[in-house]
Structure 1
Amino acid sequence: MSDRSHLEEISIRSIGVIDQSSLELSPGLNVLTGETGAGKTMILTALQLVLGGKSDSSLVRHGSERLLASARFSVNKAIAEIAIESGADVEDGTLILTRTVNADGKSKAVAGGANVPAATLALLADHLVEIHGQAANHQIVKPARQRELLDRFIGGDLSKALQQYQENFNGFNELKARIKAMRESVSKRDSQIAELQEFSSAWIKLKAVRGEVASTNDQISRLSSVEDLRVAADGATQAIANEEEGSLTSLGAARRFLDLAKGKDGKLDEIAGRISEGFFLIDDAARDLASYLTSLEADPGQLDTLQSRKAELAAFLKKWGSSAEPDEDLVQLAAKAKNAKIEIDDLTGGDERIAELDKELGDIKKKLLSAAEKLTQVRAAGATKLSLAVSEEIHQLSMPHTQYSVSVNSPDYKGALKESDFTLLGCDEVSMQIQGHKDGPLIALGKGASGGEMSRIMLALEVVLAATHPVGTYIFDEVDAGVGGKAAIEVGRRLAALAKHTQVIVVTHLPQVAAWADSHFVVKKSSDGTVTASDVQALDAASRVEEIARMLAGLEESTSAREHAAELLAMRGQARK
């Protein structure tokens, strides 16, 4: 298996304008181009379905019963193990994910030949693909997403600090809830103590064992029916072992007759063998019946004892149990009895016990405060590194004066913190901002960047994050929105740089981006408006010149556009030498 997963092939049938299509993708930079409405985005829509996205019957092509999308991935050993644990089958490092959606809205997910919930596909997708589209631009302006990206960039150090913090956070809240419950129960403490003591004494006296109710009922049933059981067993014994009419006598006679012809006909010998086998089986059963009859004795004393025990168990369960199955009830009551002493100690300790727990709470709060401060320090250090790294990438994308800044805002740990300052993920608020020029103001990312700038910032983020948390395949849809000229060339250059280490798939309208492709696909519509298998083509060198020329000029036969296309492709070739 390779060290990095990648998407080898995606097959599509009856999705939107696409009748049927298949793309064989390669590692490196894969570019999809084509005229508006040709179905490029539908290919990504199909992939999102395969990766556990929400199914939508409106995607099913008109006149079709269902749509089908299938993706074949080459996966490494770690991802293969995750897939196998999820119930999928991985053969020779290949994992196939499939999704079907019926016209009535019902969907089906398959991973490696096994039916799985769509959520399983989404779980696997987290390890296989990172999709960046317009939705990502909307999501990144949210503080929670910004914190998530920073934490993802920091990695292991953050995970350790967060784990330590969450252990203290959960311990603090659990102890606080326990103290609150104790204070609320003071008024009814005496009755609770009396009830727990009564229950504990009754449980100790009962000395119940696991499964005792069912076992007692079985024994009572047997001892109450001794005579019926004896009649049944004796009758069966007579039917089998009677010297004149029993089945053993008849089978023995049949064996003797067949022995006279033994060896003269194989078919008859086979029948004789079966009769002989039946004889011995019934003979064994007859011996077991005789033994059973010998052991079958009435025991009125034991029956009375069992009846008394049954009544004792029933009375206990009626008072202390629930409506659950009796033996399950006993298991739950055993757990309650185990914790009864702790509960009694909590209650009998009263204010003194609450004071002890308050002291413990104070100690845990100090640890929580220290862990929160450590978490902030780790995030702040990571924020500085992320700011520098993304700014450097942005400068490579024709934004030389723009600075990217990540700030970590936290409460004053030396002051009086409110409990509301602490959340499961710490006390920090992460904010991503940009500075348009030197000495300019820092402006929130969602407010201070145009569409084209946001696309480049997101690309820069993905490139930086890929260095710390690489995913096998990155997919960019409309990453070039609002970008043109030199900036578009630099977007293509950074995508090509990213593709040196991982597979990149890009849907683009920009020839300056398409020129950097390792594999270039064009999606065309047939005359009837559909896309069939023959309408998704991998382009050779000559065809690429024609396609990029079309993207440049919008004309099929433009000489100047072809010359410009050839120049763009030559630029890409020189950059890779």
Structure 2
Amino acid sequence: MAEVAEPTPSKEAQLLEMHVSNLGVIEEASIVFSSGMTALTGETGAGKTLIVTALQLLTGQRADSGVIGPFGDEARVDARYVIGDDEIVISRAVPRDGRSRAYINGSISTVSSLQELTENLIEIHGQHGHTSLEKSAEQRKALDRYARIDLTKLNALRKEKGDLENALLKTLGHENFQQELDFLRFQESEISQTQIESPEEEERLKESENLLANATDNQYLSMKISETLKADGLLIEEIGKLLQEVKGNESLESFQHQLTELIQIITEISSAARNFSESIDVDPQRLEEVQQRIALLQDIRRKYGETLQAVLEKQQQFAEQILTFENAGQMSQEIQEKLQKVETDLVEEEKVIASLRKKAAPVIAKEIELYLRELSIPEGKVEFLIDGPAGEQVEINVSLNRGQELQPLSRVASGGELARTTLAARLVLSTEPETLIFDEVDAGIGGQTALEVGKCLKKLSTDRQVLVVTHLAQVASYADTQVKVTKTENERLPSITVQTLDKEQRVVEISRMLSGSPDSENAQKHATELLENTR
């Protein structure tokens, strides 16, 4: 299924109600919110801004102990939100001393968790608002949804690239695969070149070394043994004489046999001694060769094992590891070939997506500029800066006055201009969040422009919840629901009441907003006409 950016949320979400206690001059106040557009009205200084402050606290914005009222030791805001079939309750408490606390469904939480939860639920437009559209990622997502850019192939290629890179790393074991393979080959080759004849070779060589080191003496002594015991020697001659004397003497017959065996043994010793003497190599060069060979075998043992048997086993282990690495190398070669193709395809797809984004950006900018003109910002200019391989670095720059340089949306200084600018942008780039709050959107405007602002807010509320704080009857008249905030002065402390108005009460409030005279028949007639014209 194509991953085209759609403006519809995965689940319907709505702010249902909010309770505020000890916030500024509000001792206790509850507001039940409706779907569509809600206008929050009341006299200047009545406490409308405190309602926005309460919503700001719910979005995890900085809590100042200065907002705590005189009715207790802490300010508290609780709100109930519905997401699909689920309801959540979020709360924020601000004590006079210490850090603020956050709660989600009655359980203590962190402010950052509260921010994360409400990021795609509530957005506040105004001087100190919480506006996700100021973020580059949100601007890119909104652009893609508007232009219906299919990101399926791009995301699939990026995922495949990541999977292949992970598979390559897993196959090779680590990034130094080739170095380790080369080292294994060196070690195996070093043992192989030693050409160990057998596990006992070193012992045999040490025996040869002993012989060679004493070759002359050993040759002389072994020859002396041979000559002394030779068959025609004096010793054999004397034993022969004894043998002749005992022959025929039955009493000494056993000695005759023993003397015969003795002559045979002496003869064999003589012969063996001669052979040994003749086998001794009186060769200093051969001794040096044997000693060098022993030194080589000892060196190889120091590196790879206590015995030559252990060294041979290590060589076999190296050979098996090399085979495994070479097989992995073959597999990695195949993965690398696939990776190269994916990277090539990815570069091409990134170019396509970047082109689509750059093509759509001026069209979107023109549409936003048209809304800016309707919202009394006739000199408004909008430009998208698109950068990155796939154009993923998106930044909306605006200039709201003639001669003003383009600057990021987040740097628009005026609260009213910022609210109207983001309203224009939201009308074109309609995405999350589900609840939009506009404060100061009507600052510095009136007449026909106010009607256009109201019309735009009404249009925006067709698929989301919109709350607008307004002083203008033209804006309030477009609301589906109107909530009035009233401050009453008394001898003790001022009190704030929040009331959802019915049809007749709306006429009276709109009359007050139009003329300052809520009981004026002419004002009420005008108010009724205004409400009817904005239906």
Which bin holds the TM-score, normalised by the shorter protein?
0.5 to 0.7
Secondary structure class of the residue paired with 2:487: coil
Superposed counterparts of 1:502-521, under 5 Å: 502-521=464-483
**Cα distance per residue 1:265-297 (max 9 Å; x no partner):** xxxxxxxxxxxxxxxxxxxxxxxxxxxxxxxxx
Give the partner amino acid of 2:40.
Answer: L
The aligned counterpart of 2:531 is 572
CA distance in 2, matches of 1:348, 1:22: 67
TM superposition score normalised by structure 1: 0.54
Secondary structure class of the residue paired with 1:101: strand
State the shift of 1:552 in Å: 4.5
Does 1:522 find its partner at 2:484? yes
1:137–1:458: 8 Å Cα contact kept in structure 2? no
CA distance in 2, matches of 1:99, 1:448: 29
CA distance in 1, matches of 2:15, 2:331: 61
Of 368-377 and 180-189, the range deviating more from structure 2: 180-189
CA distance in 2, matches of 1:567, 1:346: 88
CA distance in 2, matches of 1:52, 1:21: 20
State the shift of 1:507 in Å: 1.0
CA distance in 2, matches of 1:172, 1:186: 21
State the shift of 1:391 in Å: 4.7
Secondary structure class of the residue paired with 1:70: strand
Secondary structure class of the residue paired with 1:480: coil
Superposed counterparts of 1:258-407, under 5 Å: 345=325, 362-380=340-358, 382-383=360-361, 386-387=364-365, 389-391=367-369, 393-394=371-372, 396-397=374-375, 407=384
Please tell me whether Structure 1 or Structure 2 has the larger radius of gyration of its CA atoms.
2
Change (3 A) 1:501 1:569: farther
The aligned counterpart of 1:496 is 458
Among 424, 430, 444, the alignment partner of 1:460 is: 424
* Consecutive unaligned residues in structure 2, runs of 5 or more: 1-9, 189-319
The aligned counterpart of 1:332 is none
State the shift of 1:505 in Å: 1.0
The aligned counterpart of 2:394 is 430
**Cα distance per residue 1:163-196 (max 9 Å; x no partner):** 235325646876999999746983996279979x
CA distance in 2, matches of 1:129, 1:140: 12
CA distance in 1, matches of 2:169, 2:494: 61
The aligned counterpart of 1:308 is none
The aligned counterpart of 2:294 is none
Give the partner amino acid of 2:21.
Answer: R
Secondary structure class of the residue paired with 2:72: coil
1:137–1:454: 8 Å Cα contact kept in structure 2? no
The aligned counterpart of 2:446 is 484
CA distance in 2, matches of 1:498, 1:427: 28
Among 10, 19, 27, the alignment partner of 1:11 is: 19
Does 1:132 find its partner at 2:125? yes
Change (3 A) 1:154 1:107: farther
State the shift of 1:550 in Å: 4.3
Secondary structure class of the residue paired with 2:347: helix
* Consecutive unaligned residues in structure 1, runs of 5 or more: 81-89, 196-339, 411-420
TM superposition score normalised by structure 2: 0.58
CA distance in 1, matches of 2:414, 2:67: 31
Q: Tell me how many residue pairs correspond in the alignment.
A: 392
CA distance in 2, matches of 1:435, 1:110: 40
CA distance in 2, matches of 1:486, 1:543: 24
**Cα distance per residue 1:111-143 (max 9 Å; x no partner):** 344444444444442453333223569876665
1:176–1:361: 8 Å Cα contact kept in structure 2? no
State the shift of 1:449 in Å: 10
CA distance in 2, matches of 1:122, 1:20: 24
CA distance in 2, matches of 1:444, 1:53: 24
CA distance in 2, matches of 1:130, 1:356: 49
State the shift of 1:31 in Å: 1.2
**Cα distance per residue 1:399-450 (max 9 Å; x no partner):** 6x7686554645xxxxxxxxxx55xxx444435456989xx99955659997
Secondary structure class of the residue paired with 2:27: strand
Change (3 A) 1:366 1:397: same
1:14–1:67: 8 Å Cα contact kept in structure 2? yes
State the shift of 1:12 in Å: 0.7
The aligned counterpart of 1:146 is 139
1:172–1:365: 8 Å Cα contact kept in structure 2? no
State the shift of 1:506 in Å: 0.8
Among 43, 50, 56, the alignment partner of 2:51 is: 43
The aligned counterpart of 2:268 is none
**Cα distance per residue 1:434-478 (max 9 Å; x no partner):** 6989xx999556599976554333212223333xx3654322122
State the shift of 1:19 in Å: 1.4
Does 1:563 find its partner at 2:527? no
Give the partner amino acid of 2:156.
Answer: Q
Among 73, 81, 84, the alignment partner of 1:73 is: 81
Change (3 A) 1:435 1:535: closer
Secondary structure class of the residue paired with 1:517: coil
Change (3 A) 1:140 1:130: closer
State the shift of 1:46 in Å: 1.8
**Cα distance per residue 1:81-137 (max 9 Å; x no partner):** xxxxxxxxx4xxxx4333333333344444344444444444442453333223569
Change (3 A) 1:520 1:348: closer
1:182–1:354: 8 Å Cα contact kept in structure 2? no
Change (3 A) 1:366 1:38: same
Secondary structure class of the residue paired with 1:482: coil
The aligned counterpart of 1:290 is none
State the shift of 1:372 in Å: 1.2
Give the partner amino acid of 1:456.
Answer: R
CA distance in 1, matches of 2:126, 2:428: 17
Change (3 A) 1:13 1:342: farther
